[in-house]
């Protein structure tokens, strides 16, 4: 069997003295979508940050297309086609929307033709941003900021897209639009990992889910199965055990 797109094995990550991930493993095949679920503090964001290179692993390995990238910096991983949308504020609040996009295209270098085509393409995907180009990103609404954040990452045309919290704190109408965008990206063949608090949103986004608790994987399998695994779904989402 060919190498998976991403293979994480036995990952341990610390925040200062506190251990967040306890030997997490996962595999991703090209083109699939994976939802990372779990309660607050389960380590979902930490896992994404470690994959993107924002946090360093104390133990364990990360392989991308068969190459060990565990010690690589974020910028090297970006160049390999790993893109991430941070949770919370993923834009540059002081910069205008246009400048945010300029910064997003940083690693395209001085290839202005490509930059222009891709910028036009993401503005097609998020037409709402077109009239806001001159506004500082910090003054945008939460939904617009999330769109800008995704647009920024898409400029680099990543093969693997990591999204930390797609729907958190956003109005339902915006969440609906974002779900549509993610579905479109999947049709374009991108591999997607998305962290979600909401089981319902996750069900619509991914066919496979990993459920984490306290830095460990507690369930891995098809999302619809998770739905029927009452023990887990109830424990996390409905209260009581």
Partner 1 sequence: MSLHITSDIVAAGAIEGLGYAMLAVGLLLVYRATRVLNFAHAQVGVLGATITAKLVLDTKLPYWLGALAGILVGAALSFAFYHFVVRALEGRPRIVLLVATLGLSQVAVAAGNLLPTIQHSGAYPQAFSGRWVVAGVTVTAADLTMLAVLTAVGLGLALWLARSRYGIALLAASDNADSARLAGIPVQAIAAGVFTAVGALAALTVILYSPVQGVSAGTGQSGQGTTILLMALIASLAGGFWSLPRAAFAGVALGIIEALLYANTSSPGQVSALLFVVLVLTIALTAKKSRLGIDSASIAPATRPIPRALERSRWARPLSWATAAVTIGLAALAPLVITSASGQLTLVQIICYSLAALSVCVITGWAGQITLGQFAFVGIGAYLTAALINNGWNFFAAVGACMVIGAVAAGLLGIPALRVRGMFLAVLTLGFAFAVQAWLLPGPLLNPDGQTLVAAFPPATWGLDLGNLETYYYLCLTILVLVVMMLAGLSRTGAGRAMRAVRDNEIAADALGIWSAATKWKAFVLAGALAALAGALWGVGLGTFQASQFTADASISIVFMVVVGGIATLGGPIVASIGLVGAPVVLGHIVEPLGDQVQNISTLLGGVAALLALRGDPEGIGAGFRKLRERLLRRLADPAPDESGPVVDPAPATPTVASQEQANALQVCEVVVRFGGVTANDRVSLDLRTGQIVGLIGPNGAGKSTLVNAISGALPVAAGRICLGGTDLTRLPAYRRARLGIARTFQNASLYAGLSVSETLALAVAAEKSASFLGSLLSLPPTLRRDARCRAEADALAVRFGLEPWLDSLIKELSTGTRRIVELACVAARSPRVILLDEPAAGVAQREVEQLGTLIRNLQADTGASVLLIEHDLPFVLGVSDRVVALAQGRVIAEAEPSAIQNDPAVIESYLGIDDRAVQRSSSAQ
Q: Which residues bind partner 1 (CB under 8 A)?
A: 39-41, 49, 52-54, 73-75, 78-79, 83-84, 86, 89-95, 99-100, 102-107, 109-110, 139-144, 149, 152-153, 156, 167-177, 179, 197-201, 203-204, 227, 233, 235-240
Beta bridge partners of 211: 37, 219
Beta strands in the chain (DSSP E): 6-15, 18-28, 33-38, 59-64, 67-68, 82-85, 160-164, 191-195, 208-213, 216-222
Closer CB to partner 1, residue 191 or residue 197?
A: 197
Shortest spacing between CB 188 and partner 1, in angstroms: 20
- Please check whether residue 48 is in contact with residue 193, taking contact to mean a CB–CB distance below 8 angstroms: yes
For CA atoms 17, 19, 23, 25, give the dihedral sign.
negative
**Is the distance from CB of 224 to CB of 203 less than 8 angstroms?**
yes
CB-CB contact of 155 with 97 (8 Å): no
- Minimum Å gap between C-beta 2 and partner 1 is 27
Whichever of 11 and 175 has its CB closer to partner 1, that residue is 175
- Residue among 61 and 177 whose Cβ is closer to partner 1: 177
| Closer by beta carbon to partner 1, 24 or else 223 | 223
| Residue 34: CB minimum distance to partner 1, A | 18
């Amino acid at each position: 069997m060919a190498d998976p797109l991403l293979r994480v094995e036995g990952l341990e990550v610390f925040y200062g003295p506190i251990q967040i991930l306890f030997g997490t493993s996962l595999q991703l095949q090209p083109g699939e979508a994976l939802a990372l679920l779990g309660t607050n503090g389960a380590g979902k964001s930490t896992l994404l940050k470690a994959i993107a290179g924002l946090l360093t692993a104390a133990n364990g390995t990360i392989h991308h297309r068969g190459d060990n990238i565990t010690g690589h910096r974020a910028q090297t991983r970006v160049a390999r086609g790993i893109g991430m949308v941070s949770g919370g504020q993923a834009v540059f609040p002081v910069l205008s929307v246009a400048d945010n996009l300029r910064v997003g295209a940083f690693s395209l270098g001085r290839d202005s033709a490509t930059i222009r085509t891709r910028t036009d393409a993401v503005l097609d995907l998020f037409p709402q941003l077109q009239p806001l180009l001159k506004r500082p990103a910090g003054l945008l609404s939460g939904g617009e900021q999330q769109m800008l954040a995704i647009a920024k990452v898409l400029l680099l045309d990543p093969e693997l897209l990591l999204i930390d919290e797609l729907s958190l704190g956003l109005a339902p109408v915006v969440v609906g639009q974002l779900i549509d965008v993610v579905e479109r990206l999947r049709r374009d063949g991108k591999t997607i990992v998305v962290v979600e608090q909401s089981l319902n949103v996750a069900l619509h986004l991914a066919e496979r889910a990993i459920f984490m608790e306290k830095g460990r994987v507690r369930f891995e399998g098809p999302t619809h199965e998770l739905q029927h695994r009452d023990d887990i779904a109830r424990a996390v989402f409905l209260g009581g055990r």
